[in-house]
Structure 1
Amino acid sequence: MLVARTALTIGISIAALLISIVLDLLLAPLPPLAQFLIQIPALVLLLDEARRIVLREAAAYQLTPDDVNGAFFMAAPLAALGAVSLFADIRRSLGIRL
């Protein structure tokens, strides 16, 4: 059970990071505001659909919905990391320096 939970968390984290990086690369030619308006909802919808798929298949590995939701909660920061260049572009276009 612990191995299944750990594998689920690692797999979802990698998938979330890859989804956000691919979206970031595909939308890079667009202006920052258009990227934001497309990328963030697309990322949320893709991760939510992935969560639904995993919830359907979780019973085969004796995982509860709480295990699945916890794994997606832990993967959320990695999804945000993949969108870093989007936020850097927005910050740059607004003239904000850190």
Structure 2
Amino acid sequence: MDNRTIVVEVVYALADKQKLLRLTLPHGTTVRQAALQSGMEAHFPGLDLANSPLGIFGKAVAKPDERVLEDGERVEIYRPLIADPKEVRKQRAARAAKAKAEGQDA
């Protein structure tokens, strides 16, 4: 039987509150299992760890139920996006173009 363990961090943040938990877990723990075992939902009611997008050190993990963690990694729980980044960029570019056109007309 494999009794080895790993130490990982699990983090989640809102605009006004952040939490970092350090966990010792069995070797072979997946990204999703670490998030579920963190108990983070006790600190953030309504957080759905079973369906939240997850990442490691700022990179999204496509299959968090399959990706096995290594010692020292940091699991990040991501929030849903409020706005589509592509749409926000389009709107910003349209405003800049409009402002530039209005500046040339004056």
TM-score bin, normalised by smaller chain: under 0.3
* Larger Rg, first or second structure (1 or 2): 2
Q: Which has the higher helix share?
A: 1
TM-score by structure 1 length? 0.23
TM-score by structure 2 length? 0.22
